[in-house]
Each structure stands twice: as C-alpha cells, then as structure tokens.
A and B are shown apart, each in its own frame.
Chain A
Amino acid sequence: MPKRTDIQSVLVIGSGPIVIGQAAEFDYSGTQACRVLKAEGLRVVLVNSNPATIMTDPEIADATYVEPITPEFVEKIIAKERPDALLPTLGGQTALNTAISLHENGVLEKYGVELIGANVAAIRKGEDRDEFKEVVEAVRAKTGHGESARSYICHSMDDVLKGVEELGGYPVVVRPSFTMGGAGSGFAHDEEELRRIAGQGLALSPTTEVLLEESILGWKEYELELMRDKHDNVVVVCSIENFDPMGVHTGDSITVAPAMTLTDREYQILRDIGIAVIREVGVDTGGCNIQFAVNPADGRVIVIEMNPRVSRSSALASKATGFPIAKIAAKLAVGYTLDEIPNDITQETPASFEPTLDYVVVKAPRFAFEKFPGADSTLTTTMKSVGEAMAIGRNFTEAFQKALRSLEKTGSQFTFTGDPGDKDELLRECVRPTDGRINTVMQAIRAGATPEEIFEHTRIDPWFVDQLFLIKEIADELAEAPELTPELLAEAKRHGFSDQQIAGIRGLREDVVREVRHALGIRPVYKTVDTCAAEFAARTPYFYSSYDEETEVAPREKPAVIILGSGPNRIGQGIEFDYSCVHASFALSDAGYETVMVNCNPETVSTDYDTSDRLYFEPLTLEDVLEIVHAEQQAGPVAGVIVQLGGQTPLGLSQALKDNGVPIVGTPPEAIHAAEDRGAFGRVLKEAGLPAPKHGTATTFAEAKAIADEIGYPVLVRPSYVLGGRGMEIVYDEARLETYIAESTEISPSRPVLVDRFLDDAIEIDVDALYDGHELYLGGVMEHIEEAGIHSGDSACALPPITLGGFDIKRLRASTEAIARGVGVRGLINIQFAMAGDILYVLEANPRASRTVPFTSKATAVPLAKAAARISLGATIAELRAEGLLPARGDGGELPLDAPISVKEAVLPWSRFRDIHGRGVDTVLGPEMRSTGEVMGIDSVFGTAYAKSQAGAYGPLPTKGRAFISVANRDKRSMIFPARELVAHGFELLATSGTAEVLKRNGINATVVRKHSEGPGPGGERTIVQLIHDGEVDLIVNTPYGTGGRLDGYDIRTAAVARSVPCLTTVQALAAAVQGIDALNRGEVSVRSLQEHAERLIAARD
C-alpha cells in the first residue's frame, strides 16, 4: 500500500527551546521527518521557535516559521498555509500538547486539518493515567501479563491525603499528568514531602491531576521502542535496560542497550505486553516508547507508562541500532507500511524486522548541578540532566568506560589510585542516587565492599555489579603487574580502559602508555553499526571502535575532512555547536570532500548516519580522536581536522592534536592560544589600540583588594581557566570580595583570580564574524537587552542592534577586523564588546563558532558556519561571495533599514531544581550562564519581535491585569517610564512600600502590598508571595541588588516560577516587555516564514 495521495501538505511542529527533558533529540527527529516528507513530494510547513536547530534551516522545509509554539501562533500559521495534515508526534510533549489544544479549540476542524501519526484518543489513552490503567488491564486480560502499580488518581490535596491511606502508607510516588520529562514528580516519604510535591504537581499539570502510586523503588527498569504501521505490523526496534534501578528518571539513569539480564521468556513477555499496549492504545502509525518495572525477586511486571510519540529514548534507540525511528514514523504517517520501506543501512532488506545488536550501547547522563549550588542533587523521577553521552563497544565494560569518558567531566572516569575511603561510609553514600554515584560505587568496591553489599545498598543488578568488579580486577592487575605485558594491555583496552587511566594506575604519562601501546601494535579496530549483527552487508559507514581483530573501515580516494563535534550537551555548550558542525559537513561535502564526523552525543543531527559520509560514534578525547585520525589516514588522504565548530571540547584538543602531527585546518592552535591567554590577548589589543576594561590578577585577598581599590567597585571576579562563566561574580563591595576569595576553591598561585572593572550600565554587544586572512565578513551585530554583567548566553539580544548607529557599527567592524587579524583567525570569531560612556571595550574574543552562529545565520539569511568550514579549507571570502554562499556585497553589519528584527531569548531551567528543603532555586541572572536553550522572535519591529520571543520562551506576555513592581534603588529611575506605560495599557500596579513611594511621587498610583518578610497583615492581608501563589499577579518585575539577593526577592521569584508568571529581573527587560505589550495591544501580530523574510532581505540588499 503506497503513500496516501490525499495529503499534499503537512504541518510539522517542533519542540521549541532546549529545556531539561526536551532537548536536541527532537531536532534530530524533526529534521529526519521533514526531509522524508519533502522527499515524498509533500509541501512541508514547519513551526519551531528554536533557531539553533537544523530543522529550522530554510532548506529543510518549504515554509519555516520561527514563531512561538502556542495554539494562537500555530493557528495563524494554519490559517495562512492551510496544510492538509498535522504531524504532532516528532516535536516532543510540546508538539503533542499544542496539537491537542488545536483539536480541542476546534481549529483543526475549522481548517480541515487531519492529525496524522497519532489520533487524539490514542494520545489521551497513552498519557492520561486513568485511561492508561484501563489499557494495561485490557492487555493483562489478553496476554496474561503486565499490570499497573497500584495507584490513586487525585485532583485535590484532600484526594492526595486520602490516596496515601488507600495505598497503605508511605513512601508513595507522585506523578502529575501531562507534563514533560516527568516534571513535578517525585517520592514522598511523609506528609510534608507529599504536600509539597503533590501541591506543585497539581499546579504543573494542565489538568490539575496527579497520580499517587505504590513504590517500586529498586526494581529492574526496562524500556521498549516499538513501531506500528497501518496494517498492524509491529516491530520492537530496541530494548533498553536501566543500570540504575527504579527510582531514577530514565533520562537521568545510565542505560544499556540491548537488555542484558533477561532470559528470552521474560523478554518475550515484555514484547507481548508492548505490542498489546500499542494496539490497545491505538497508535495507528508511528513509534512509541513503553517503560516497564520488573521485580528482581519474582519477575512481576509493571507497565509504568508509554509515550505515543517519538521520544528521547527513541532517538537513543535509533542511534543505538541504526534503525531511524523518526524517519520511518514519518513514512508510516503518510501511508507506507513497514515492509515497503527499505532498511537504509543494508539497503536490501526491509524495515519490517527487529534490529539485532552485536555490540553494547551505554548512555550516561550529564548533569549541571554545579550551576545551581543550592539545588538538591539527589536523582529522582524528575529529570535533571542537561545532556547525555552514548558509547558503543563490543562488550559492556568497553562501552561503559567509553561513555564515562565521553562525559568529559572531571572525575567522570573511574580512578583507581589513592585511598578510596571508608567502606561503610562509601556504602552509605551509595544509597542515594546522585550525579557520579557510580564512582562512589567503584570506590566502595576498592574499599573492599562485596558484590552482595553493593547490591544491598544500590539494587544495581548483580550482573552489572560483577562487571564493575571485572573492571576493578583488571585495574588491580594493571597496578600489580611487574611489567605492562601486551596481553594485559590488550585486555585492559578490551575493557575500555583509556590510556590516561592506565597511565594513572602505572604512574606513567599518558603519551608514554600510548607510545608503548602503538609499539606493541595494540590499536582499536572500527566496527559497523549495521542493524543485523553482520547477517547482511552494511552500506552505511557508521563506526565505533573496539579492541578486536578486524576493522571495517574501507579505503577511499577523495580527501577527507574530519569534523570534531561538541560531545554531550551541557549548559554553555549545546545544540548550537552541533548546528555548526552539521553545516560544515554539508558545505564540505558540496565542495567535494569526504566528510567524517566524530561525536558521542546521541541527541544530535551530527550523529545521524545520514549527515556525513562517515560517522564515528566515539568519545572526544585526545586518545580516541588520534586513533580515528590514524584509521582515516590509513584509509586515504586526510585534508585536515576541524576543531573550531564544536565549541570548547574540540578547541581544547587542538594544540595536542597538532603536537601529535595531526593537520588542523582553520584557525591554528597558536591563534586560539592568543585569544584565550590573557597576556597574549592583551598584546593583540594593545597593538590594535583597543581598550579593555581595567583588570588585574590576584592570588590573595590583599592583592585582589589592591586591584579593586585602584579600578573601583563593582568588579567582576572569576577564576582563571574556566568556561561558561563558572564561578564568575559581580562584587559590589570589599566584604563580599573577601568572602569570595575565601570561599573559592579554584584559586591558587598557579590559578589566580581575575579582577576586572565591571562596566555598570554598559551596553553589551556580541559580534560574529568571518575572517580569511585578508577580508572580514561581519556576520552580525547583536545588542544585548540586559546590561553587561549578565552572561551573554543568558541575555536576550536583538539583531540588527536596536540602538546602535552606523558610526558604532563602523567602529565594531574595525575593531573586529583588528582582533581577527591580530589573533590570526581563519574562519569564525566571536567577540564581546561593552559600550560604556561611548568607549567600546573589548571583553573577550573566541576564535571559534559561537553559541549565536545559528541565530545570526537565520536572522541575516547567511550560512556562516558553512562559510567558516570552507574558509578553513582555504576558500576566501571573495570566492565565497562569487560562489553565492556569502552575499555578493555588504555584510551582516549593514542590513537594510527595513530588515526584520530578530530577538533571541534564553530559556532557564529554574522549575527543575529544588533545594534540599524542596524550595525552588533563585532565578536571578548573573555572569554565570545557566540557560539550557533559546528561542528567536522575528518581526518587522522590535516590540513585536520581543513579545514573540517571550511567548516562545515562557508563554505570552500579559496584555492587561496586575503587575507587581519591586526594584533595587539603582533601578528606580529607569523604572518610571515603563511603569507609566503599563498603567496606560490598563495594568493595575502593585508595589512594595519603597517602590510605591517613588512611583507615587512621579504621579503613578500603585497599591502597596506586604512584603513576604512582613508576613500577613493584621486583617489577614496577603503578602506578595501569597498573591502570586493565589494566581492574582500577571506580571512581576523584581530586580535584585548584588548577588545572593535578599530573601524577599528570592521568595517572589521562586513563587513566579512555581506559578509560571512572567518575571523580569532587569529594568532593560521591563522596557523591552513594555514595547512588546504595546505591540500586542495595538493588534494584529502576524506570522511570516523565514523563506519570506529571506526573500525580502535579499531583495532589499540588491
């Protein structure tokens, strides 16, 4: 049965900004789906507010709307584009929820849009706790297996308290309905915890519904990924076993594919249940993910939940098996059946089979608790990780140790030196699942714990525990062996030990171990992920390394370019860098190179086997990269390695790669050093005659005080050699400077603290530019909305800059060119400037693709990363202009006056984190980056663009209602005009006494409300925090003084997060929001596709 002929156009909804629980995997699936649908000859209309995605590249869809994913905006797009169908299953929970809203409010019916890939009834059955329970009961009646955890549905706190009694007491699990990534769920051990978790859950759930469940903590946890076509053919694509037993969200667990500890009988029971579930729920076409808990004592199976859509796990399963779930889901949605779709990898066998693996896949989560010092680091059923790494090996130990080193985090690899500590103490620590618990477990083993003790304290399956003992035993042998024999070295490599680990154990240098290993001829081979365990020949070079016998890397003739990706997503290094790597791959392939991608992040487009000519799914460490370079040099000519597009990860390897004789193309390592080293960079600036803020370095408080006294407070302090603004702080007085120096553990004579003059009230400016050695192409100039001092990654910004004039741009261009030349850039450079009192200061320069490259590229309709890749390989800007990759004349600094305004807004993960008392974490922005993702708002004027960015990031700005204002003294002047505007738009103002006084004196009436610290009034008057909790405040403006904040501000802001009320923490954001509210109130906000924007921009340029 071939594809349907009654559908000519499809609307695909993306997943919006990267947030915890919904990340780059949906770019991967959405991109696959859009490509498939387009190849099928359908007109593809796409909406996604996230500019840092490949799917929003203008060539992926026919009409790409970078607009907020809200029912209101999607309706506008439907009205304009009139698609025949809507495919909602590839954009995560965001897309699914939006589609349901559009169904419920009648928009789909009104415009005759058919939901494909999932129907509303199936979505409800899968996601509604009550309905799903019925599904499981029906499945049990049919298959004789599977049941739900005993549970109780609640719509109020009274229900919740009654539910605990019904279930027989604590602990219980609380799960809110219809939230993504398990948001708001958790374990309650007593009534206090229950009230807190369930209260939050009821608020978070769009249907004010939570489920209480019996505790199945410590059970074995499994997932199956299934696909079904319209002929009711069902296949299980992958089984996944969680290393961490029940109790830790699967997104936060170490997971393993395929399942390792099930007999065939037990596995087939899960398979039978899974198939019966997908049928009973009624997912007609497409994929779904089902989670199971298995009692390790007797095999009792509980069906935990199912997602009737493509999920994080299905992205992982696709990468783990080579079976492209999203691509196939899209084909099934338009009418194909599984047997009609060829298996991409073998090209000869059909997709209606179940992949079989002859390797082991391990996924490990990457956390960012260091960014949220107050947050409780215990892992629960609410997902908290910000990224993940996947590794493939020919056995578990190899894959596992590769995954741990792929995390690229200090201490993520096992260490076997030093005193492990006290066994009992370590065992006690093992009970609580945390980031890095696995390392504690290993230390407990080193300290003499038995397998039984480890199982008792962690409930990690005995087979996995034995694998840890195996690793430890090999480490012992390495330590005890009189010499490193070839047999022992080979065995250690077979179990995933890195040269670095072996070096640590033997007290050698890493490069010495490598030399010995190479001299002995012990090198990895590369095997293929082929879906079929070598039963059929694979046509797709998707490789992983293993210390085995036979390599499968085929010889080639064209010169290869090796692109190093960015590894696991983390705060400060996310999908934006993957975007640049993917673009490089496309551009270099077009230019006639063989492209070779190296990365270990399963969520990304770069690790799709379709993206590059060859894919190496490998850790991004020096050792692993050197081996790949060697393998590729054996296979044919290698033109070079690109390190400047994947963020700090590959950049950090560049010098060592070069020292090992690897050709680095683009900006040379020496130039990278010139930009990163303060002394060298200072010389570059001096030669170019450019000012930087006054600064100095100190290793003691006395030295720091002397510097601060000279340059004046406030000062910006930070440890040297850190990334993403880690530990950076604005210090307003001497007392805080003293405590900062005292508290900072990173400061030592060899690692001084940097003290910079903080430019108060400066405008911060970001520039992305290309330089080829002769000519500069200014990619774009972004003006930050927040003042300097907020990390650029967390700050909203506008492009073109909204308040800078032609003269400023000229100065920026000249300074950028001077720095690019002085540093020696060949490719991209990002520079941060601060304009204060008409002086343009240089804050820092990064000679690499920046986080803003995708945003700049989309806002100006110029593919900067593609151009950078070409420049790296020797093309000049003049050639690229002639070729048409860059505009024939002009650049991103001189956009036409009627060019659209693009606003980037950061999205922050506040709602994910609680402190150990269960309270929210403070939401104040600072110099340390904490956002996980971003959105883009694009429109003809700034106000509307800003309003769109807010709608995309946090939900629509209110256009009327009550606004609460409480600002720090220094902000009081700048608050008056925006406050007056709010009143003019009909807002009622609430303010604390101090702020209300200032407003009153300026003729603006505001109702005084009680501070949180004052408590309720004598007549029961509520405090501002209570008002927010009661849903009576629509907009909050609260600017903090200094960092740490005063308690009142903290409580206000955490209440805002809990109730999802827009909360502005800078006066600049307030001013922008007022413009946005003004635009919204003036009426029609329209939607326009990127393709239309580009057309107008190109027309205006000519």
Chain B
Amino acid sequence: MTTSTRGAASHRHTAPAVLVLEDGRMFRGRAYGAVGVTFGEAVFSTGMTGYQETLTDPSYHRQVVVMTAPHIGNTGVNDEDMESRKIWVSGYVVRDPARVPSSWRSRRTLDDELRAQGVVGICGIDTRALTRHLRERGAMRVGIFSGEALPDAGTMLAEVRQVPEMKGADLSAEVSTTEPYVVPALGEKKYTVAAVDLGIKGMTPHRMAERGIEVHVLPATASTEDVYAVNPDGVFFSNGPGDPATADHAVALMRAVLERGTPLFGICFGNQILGRALGFGTYKLKYGHRGINQPVQDRTTGKVEVTAHNHGFAVDAPLDKVSETPYGRAEVSHVCLNDNVVEGLRLLDKPAFSVQYHPEAAAGPHDAAYLFDRFVNLMEGQRA
C-alpha cells in the first residue's frame, strides 16, 4: 500500500491561477497540475468517485471539467483505471486536491500525472458557486490561466471569447484511433463486433469481451466496407465528444448498417447518431448530464437504473408515441426521470437500439450492464 510518501505541500503555495468564464465571471485560486493556459467548454461533473476514469474519457475532449466533489486525488493514479491512452480534459477544476494518495493500487499522485500530461488545472476555488453559475447560465467557454505573471482581466476574457464553441464542433476524428485494433474475447469467442471509435472508452470493449465478443475497434473514418470487412455479427457506435449535428459520416455509416439489418448498439454519441440516422433532431442541453447518480427508467419494464452520464447534447424524439422512420417503427426506450430527456432509442422492426448513458459504467454503477446482454441477444436472434 502507499503510505504517504509526502506529496506536494499545501497547494496554497503553488502559483496563482484564474478561471475566466466567457460571461466575465472570474474565480481566483491556485495552480493545480501543469502551469500554463488552457481553454475549453466549462462543464461540471457530480461523481464522487472515478476521477481517473473521467479524466481519460475521450468524450471530455476540449472540455474543462469542474468536479463538484471537493476532495480529488485521494486514491492517486493507478495503472488499471484509465479509460483511454491519455487524459482528454482540456482543464481541471478542483477544490481540495489530495496531498497524499491512499490506495493499495495507487502508483503516483494525480498532481504528478496532470503535470506529466500537461493538463492545466486550478484548485482552491468555490466550485459550488461555479457549478451554480453554470447551472443557471448554461455550459460556456472558459479559460484557466496560471503562473506568476498573469495577463490582465480584459486580455484573459478576450482570449476566452475567441475559443470555438462546442456547438458545431466535429471532434470525433481528433479522439478516434487512427489504426484498427482488436480486443479479443475473454474465454470462448462467440461473436464478432465492429466498434466504430468516436471516442470509445476502454471499458466498453472490455464489457463486450467479457461476453465472448471479439471487438474490432475501427477509426471514426471507417467506411461501410471497412465495417463489413471484419464480418461482424453486430456493429457498435461509441461515445465521443462534439456536436452530433456535424457527424455526417457516422450518420451515413449507421444508415448503411441499418439498411443491412445488422444488429446495432450505440452508446452516448452513438445514441445521438442513431437519433439523427432515424431522422430525429439533436440539441444542446443547457448544462448537460455529467455524473454517476442519474435515474433512468427503462420504459418497457418500468424499472429505474442509477446510471453514469456524460452528455451535453440529447436526441429530440417524442416520448408519448411510436415514431415512423425510414427503418420502421422506433420508440424512446429510456428516459431520465430528473428532466425527461431521451436516454434511449429502440427500433421495433430492426435489431437496433442505443442509450444515451454509459452501461459500461466506468466510473459509475453497474445497474445498466444488462444492455450488453441485450446486444448479445440481438446477435443471437439474428443468427437463429
């Protein structure tokens, strides 16, 4: 176990830092992680555990994440809980970073990890005030400036306002793998799945592999031919960052899969792609869902799952009726009970479904793991 090799002293003694929101509100604190300047979209995450998974989730690409839980870094960083090859958040906002991590799996401190990966953060600010601000005003552009010599307020604000907005951003290509790779099935191989990487998290292919699926992870740019070249029993569309309205390639690819009637499963961004492929709109939520405590109801069973969310956009589909689409009838299968946002879609005439949240649950509760079994059942049904 890691007994306190003394970490950094109090973060009070690190360089000053300022967080500047595009509407002019500023929070003054201290540098955390790398010292420098960073920009992104300010969003807050309410999970009390799982910071390592959050940081390495590609869906957070170009976002500055505000952690509502005050103590971050308590369990350090280990070699097992990364969701991808690197930290994706563009900035990190924490109230009270740990000085000394404690976990038998910890290998290094989070502070060191952030610095090693060049992630600029800020600590010691009123994260609750910032969260309330974002809740009331909506997610917005932000900059973090740290170092001994900081620009004046006007200069910083001007820089923040030059950052591109998340609406209209096409980011899949920036986070996707460039080369295909295979995640082998654990135990006996039963199925082959082509997984389109729009920002996929490591736990997702793992959950499939646990069920005897060999997962061929393909770049976001994969063509229909690339997908069918692996001779898949099913096709998967992953989570990922950016505005689904820009994801024309992915939508076209998914339509091709729907045409063929191959079993299809989408998560998060993949759910928004399915929505668009079916002809529904997508829209940006005021401040999104980011946390691991969200109540989602499976409308077919009435049961409530506590689920992990990370989405700033959502599908605009009617809750109260079955919709006719080019691929047959479709319905909203899951809703978030907090605000009635669409959390899942299902085709009634074709083997395709998707959810807006994260059944792979890293971080988060395992309540929705059954969805991977549902995908397996679709593939099984198709074979029969």
Contacts and interface: CB of A to CB of B under 8 A. Distances in A.
A394 interface: yes
B118 to A, nearest CB: 24
Given A358-B128, A549-B129, A550-B129, A532 B361 contact: no
B302 interface: yes
A231 B337 contact: no
A466 B4 contact: yes
Contacts of A535: 44, 46, 68, 131, 135, 291
A466 B6 CA distance: 9
B75 A356 contact: no
Contact of B47 (A272, A338, A356): A356
A254 to B, nearest CB: 16
Interface in A594-644: none
Contact of A233 (B69, B104, B303): B303
B338 A533 contact: no
A262 interface: yes
B186 to A, nearest CB: 14
A390 to B, nearest CB: 17
8 contacts: A231-B303, A233-B303, A263-B49, A264-B364, A299-B104, A452-B4, A463-B98, A533-B68
A272 B366 contact: yes
Interface string A248-278: 0000000000111111111110011000000
A262 B49 contact: yes
Contacts of B234: none
A487 to B, nearest CB: 8
Given A296-B1, A549-B27, A356 B291 contact: yes
A463 B47 contact: no
Nearest to A239: B48
Contacts of A296: 1, 104
Interface string B4-40: 1011011010000000000000010000000000000
A470 B99 contact: yes
A349 interface: yes
B42 to A, nearest CB: 14
Nearest to A1: B302
B6 A356 contact: no
A909 interface: no
A462 B295 contact: no
A527 B70 CA distance: 13
Interface string A527-550: 100001111110000000000111
B62 interface: no
A534 B4 CA distance: 33
A355 B53 CA distance: 20
A298 interface: yes
A262 B129 CA distance: 26
B294 A353 contact: yes
Contacts of A474: 10
Given A264-B81, A487-B12, A548-B128, 10 more contacts: A262-B103, A263-B105, A264-B52, A264-B364, A350-B295, A350-B338, A356-B291, A395-B96, A463-B102, A466-B7
Nearest to A232: B303
Nearest to A298: B104
B95 interface: yes
Contacts of A297: 1, 104
Contacts of B131: 358, 533-535
Nearest to A547: B126
B49 A267 contact: yes
Given A263-B52, A268-B364, A536 B338 contact: yes
A552 to B, nearest CB: 8
B3 interface: yes
B306 A268 contact: no
Given A455-B3, A463-B101, A550 B128 contact: yes
B374 to A, nearest CB: 18
Contacts of A236: 306, 365
Contacts of B86: none
Given A356-B48, A451-B4, A466-B99, A394 B70 contact: yes
B361 A268 contact: yes
Contact of A349 (B4, B96, B338): B338
A572 B363 CA distance: 48
Closest 10 interchain pairs by CB?
A264-B50, A549-B126, A264-B363, A550-B129, A533-B68, A463-B102, A466-B100, A264-B49, A354-B293, A451-B4
Given A358-B69, A533-B131, A452 B3 contact: yes
Interface in A349-404: 349-350, 352-360, 394-396
B78 interface: yes
A339 interface: yes
Contacts of A532: 46, 293
A537 B131 CA distance: 11
A461 B12 CA distance: 23
A456 to B, nearest CB: 9
A740 B1 CA distance: 53
Contact of A261 (B46, B52, B102, B128): B102
B362 interface: yes
A262 B295 CA distance: 23
B2 A260 contact: no
Interface of A: 231-233, 235-236, 258-268, 271-272, 296-299, 338-339, 348-350, 352-360, 394-396, 451-452, 455, 461-463, 465-466, 470, 473-474, 487, 491, 527, 532-537, 548-550
Nearest to B297: A339
Given A353-B295, A353-B338, A268 B365 contact: yes
B100 A451 contact: yes
B100 to A, nearest CB: 4
A432 B115 CA distance: 41
Contacts of B10: 470, 473-474, 491
B47 to A, nearest CB: 7
Interface string B350-384: 00000000000111111000000000000000000
B365 A231 contact: no
Contacts of B128: 358, 394, 527, 533-534, 548, 550
A536 B338 CA distance: 9
B258 interface: no
Contacts of A395: 70-71, 95-96
A964 B12 CA distance: 70
B304 interface: yes
Contact of B75 (A232, A263, A348): A263
A358 B126 contact: no
A533 B69 contact: yes
Q: Which of B10, B306, B361 has the most CB of A within 10 A?
A: B306
A473 B100 CA distance: 14
A548 B28 CA distance: 12
Interface in B88-131: 95-96, 98-105, 125-129, 131
Contacts of A461: 102
B337 A462 contact: no
A798 B320 CA distance: 66
A550 B136 CA distance: 14
Interface string B281-318: 00000000001111101000011101000000000000
B100 A463 contact: yes
A533 B46 contact: yes
Contacts of A360: 70-71
Contacts of B302: 231
A259 B47 CA distance: 12
A516 B10 CA distance: 24
A462 B102 contact: yes
Contacts of B338: 348-350, 353, 536
Nearest to B105: A263
B74 interface: yes
B137 interface: no
Interface in B262-297: 291-295, 297
A474 B295 CA distance: 42
Given A264-B81, A268-B365, A356-B293, A235 B104 contact: no
A271 B4 contact: no
Contacts of A534: 44, 68, 128, 131-132, 135
